[in-house]
Structure 1
Amino acid sequence: MDAPRPRRDHAGMDIERLATLGAIFALAGAVKGVSGMGLPTVSMALLGLVMPPAAAAALMVWPSLATNLAQCAGPSWRALCRRLWPVWAGLLLFTVFSPLPDLASAGRGPHLALGAVLLLYGAWGLLRPALPRPAPRHEDWLGALAGAVSGLLTAATGVFVLPLVPYLQSLRMDRDELVQALGLSFTLATVALGLVLWQAAPQAATPDATDCGVALLAAFAGLWVGTRLRRRLPAPTFQRALYGMFVLLGAALLGRTN
């Protein structure tokens, strides 16, 4: 008489998991819709609280790639390729061939690394330090260095915002060019991260089809909502709340004891 209960409990757990994934990716998509970035960072921050970072990154890859591809479109891609190729070369090489422990490593290392990056990124966003614009003659080596460090952190945490985003913002591009540069950079970082996950743990790099479908649909639904909210939300207030959330989530990950 009691045999069916485990199936009902299992079904309930599946529904709860899918609802959690849907809520996380809807929020992450909404953040991207409002700010033009943030889906990988928000999704990794929240998923990192409920699953191993490698599994979280595997789920994040497809929604991130799909939403970033649309952001790559624009008239400046040739100029961006000429200007940013050192950034992208460093990003790709040091993500795929990182000497640091990757997301699939055992222990708390990936959680601690992710927590530290989120905390630093949130603090940077709240403080908003004025970065000097690099001299044109230094852009190649500074870009390669920013890309290399970003690649190392991408492989270790699944988050590719530091120091990539501050560096791109320091170049003082116009808004449309910056959005396209971020889209191209994030797309390359997502592809490189997918390769790292596939090499390190092929099974973990292939998430459940249902989970992946829910993540994609929720991310695009959130993106649609966020795009329509973009002009209604005060940008400074939204950004402070977002970076404050990263600080809290980073601290929560660092404070986990197991």
Structure 2
Amino acid sequence: MGSTELTIAVLGLFLAGALKGATGIGYSTCALPFLVASVGLQRAMALVIVPAIVSNFSLMMNGGGTGAALRRFWRFYIAIIPGIALGTGLLAGADHGVAVQLLGILTLTYATIAIARPGLAIGPIGERILALPAGFANGVLTGFTGSQIMPLMPYMMALRLSASEQVQAINLAVTLTSLALGGALLIAGIVDWNILVLSALGALPAIIGVEAGSCVRRRLSTQRFRQFSLVMLGLLGLGLMVQSNHRLADCSVTPRSGIGQSAPECPKTASQHASR
């Protein structure tokens, strides 16, 4: 990773922490759209692992109710693991542009649901029935795109949990998911230990960002700033969709051979990125 990429990555990790501290939006959700354009999806997925764990761990430990969340949602959490294994397996052989396009769709969907807050509702029977498929789907999407919040967020919203219960359940899910994702990316050969070391170092700008965001939150209208941040995230997601769609469309057309003409730079698979 060159000095320019490293600088952009540090800035992205800091800004994601600031958004999380100011609004409470998930760290990975904020960080990935910033990082993907500069360092690529696979590196971005790895870079956010340790900062995401660190930014959630203190909230998880200080908030209480960890045991209750584990007892209630253990099916959801367990199902995430095989889902991540499948998702990273798909990512290893997929075009980079396809995964980025799906990340954009998930980011835009998350922002839309978070702003609209539709009146979703799931009863106790539905909660148990949907826990395994929802957790598995969450793992597949996490392994393929790095996005950890879908369908986790709407599932938890539909259960009508208290604010503290919802925050604890989501923070615990993100922490467990981040740990599983790091292991799966290593096993699949998509990233190496060097990137994870950089991820550990990236926890520092993330923590500084969270503290800075917390200071901002005390001075601004949190709700308005959150709405603004969600709109910006939605636009970033839309931008990822459009950019990756254009690249995929360019690569689907066979370039003409001729003097001065060159083929478009097409997305590579994760295994091709890892071999570079």
TM over 0.5: yes
Matches within 5 A, 1:166-205: 166-201=154-189, 203-204=191-192
State yes or no: 1:21 paired with 2:9.
yes
Letter in 1 for 2:102: A
Indicate conservation of the 8 Å contact 2:35/2:44, yes or no.
yes
Q: Does 1:238 align with 2:225?
A: yes
Query: How many angstroms apart in 2 are the aligned matches of 1:109 and 1:125?
Result: 24
Instruction: Sort the Cα spacing of 1:81 and 1:129 in 2 relative to 1 into closer, same or farther, 3 A.
Output: same
C-alpha separation between the residues in 2 aligned to 1:162 and 1:184? 15
1:213 and 1:205 map into 2 onto residues whose CA distance is: 10
**Partner residue in 1 for 2:101:** 112
Please, which of 30, 33, 55 is the counterpart of residue 21 of structure 2?
33
What residue is the counterpart of 1:6 in the other structure?
none
Aligned-partner Cα distance in 2 for 1:152–1:213: 24
- 5 Å matches for 1:59-208? 59-73=47-61, 74-98=63-87, 101-102=90-91, 105-132=94-121, 134-201=122-189, 203-204=191-192, 206-207=194-195
Distance 1:99 1:49, change over 3 A: closer
Q: CA–CA distance in 2 between the matches of 1:196 and 1:21?
A: 22
Q: Aligned partners of 1:24 and 1:40: how far apart in 2?
A: 11
For 1:243 and 1:155, the matched residues in 2 are separated by 23
Deviation of the 1:71 alpha carbon: 2.0
8 Å Cα contact 1:61-1:190 kept in structure 2: yes
Specify the alignment match of 1:253 in structure 2. 240
Query: C-alpha root-mean-square deviation of aligned residues, in Å?
Result: 2.3
Q: Partners in 1 of 2:93 and 2:183 — Cα distance? A: 13
Task: Give the Cα–Cα distance (whole angstroms) in 1 for the partners of residues 107 and 92 of structure 2.
Answer: 15
Deviation at 1:98, TM superposition (A): 3.7
Normalising by structure 1, report the TM-score.
Answer: 0.85
Q: Is the 8 A contact 1:194 1:205 kept in 2?
A: no
The TM-score normalised by the length of structure 2 is 0.80
What is the rounded CA distance, in whole Å, between the counterparts of 1:111 and 1:48 in structure 2?
8
Q: 1:169 to 1:96 in 2, by over 3 A?
A: same
In structure 2, relative to structure 1, the CA distance for the partners of 1:242 and 1:227 (3 Å cut) is same
Return the alpha-carbon distance in structure 1 between the equivalents of residues 15 and 83 of structure 2.
Answer: 30
User: Are 1:54 and 1:204, in contact at CA under 8 Å, matched by a contact in 2?
Assistant: no
Contact 1:116–1:250 (CA under 8 A) maintained in structure 2: yes
Structure 1: state its 5+ residue gaps.
1-9
Q: Work out the number of aligned pairs and report it.
A: 244
Post-superposition CA distance 1:66-94 (Å, at most 9, x none): 22221221331222112111111222221
Cα 1:204–1:106 change in 2 (3 A) is farther
SS at match of 1:50: helix
Amino acid at match of 2:214: T
Corresponding position of 2:212: 225
| CA pair 254-207 structure 1, distance change in 2 beyond 3 A | same
- Aligned letter for 1:216? A
2: distance between equivalents of 1:123 and 1:242? Answer: 12
Name the SS for the 1:129 alignment partner. Answer: coil
- The equivalent residue for 1:7 is none
AA aligned opposite 2:199: C
Per the alignment, residue 55 of structure 1 pairs with: 43
- CA deviation profile, 1:210-239 (whole Å, cap 9, x unmatched): x43652211000011122333433233122
Deviation at 1:186, TM superposition (A): 0.5
- Note the C-alpha offset of 1:170: 2.2
Counterpart secondary structure, 1:233? coil
